[in-house]
Amino acid sequence: MSMEINSNYNNDYLERLQEGKDKTKEVGKEQDAGNKSESIPVPKDEYISSEQSGSRPSGLYHMGKDGNGNPKVMYDDPKKGSDAEKCTMNTDKVDREIEKLKEQKQQLEQQIKAAAGDEEKVKELEKKLSQVEAELSQKDNDTYRRQNAVICYP
């Protein structure tokens, strides 16, 4: 079994390859000419060391863990500051209002006991007492306290 090597094959292949490169260069030059007229800047990422930039880093990354204990990349924002913002809710005004209603309820109950002989006065006092109890049942709960609390920012 004999093999013959055709050297023309290698040369033809090289010539076709060279022609393809030449055509690509020509097309690239035409595109470059069109791009220069548009002059749109191409955004590029570039590393600038902190020494060259002359400023503090824009943020720091570190490894941490999420709620499930899995590794997570954490970002510390320098604009946020080191202390977290704290606020409190003040329910003193609501608590005083509820206390007044409770005192009013007790006074009405005492007045009802004192006016045991007068039917009309007892009915009037019981009517006021039922209104106070209804208002108290509306206001004496956590939902009402939260809705009417005063939020204080430091």
Kindly write down the DSSP assignment for every residue of 86-141, as one continuous string. Answer: --EEE-HHHHHHHHHHHHHHHHHHHHHHHTTT-HHHHHHHHHHHHHHHHHHHHHSS
Q: How many domains does the chain have?
A: 1
Ranked by mean pLDDT, the top range of 33-37, 50-54, 112-116 is 112-116
Over residues 35-60, the mean pLDDT reads 67
Over residues 129-139, the mean pLDDT reads 95
More reliable by pLDDT, 26 or 69: 69
Confirm whether 13 is domain-assigned.
no
More reliable by pLDDT, 33 or 25: 25
Confirm whether 12 is domain-assigned.
no
Residue range 103-130, pLDDT digits in tens: 999 999 999 999 888 889 999 999 999 9
Tell me which residue range forms the domain holding 135.
88-152
Confirm whether 98 is domain-assigned.
yes
Confirm whether 82 is domain-assigned.
no
Confirm whether 52 is domain-assigned.
no
Confirm whether 4 is domain-assigned.
no
**CA separation for the pair 80, 60 (Å, rounded):** 12
Tally Cβ neighbours within 10 Å of residue 98: 18
More reliable by pLDDT, 88 or 41: 88
Confirm whether 142 is domain-assigned.
yes
Q: pLDDT at position 6, please?
A: 53
Residue range 65-99, pLDDT digits in tens: 888 889 998 887 766 665 666 788 889 999 999 99
The whole-model pTM stands at 0.45
Look at the alpha carbons of 32, 35, 39, 41 in this order and tell me if their dihedral is positive or negative: negative
The band of 153, judged by pLDDT with boundaries at 50, 70 and 90, is confident
Q: pLDDT at position 110, please?
A: 94
Confirm whether 79 is domain-assigned.
no
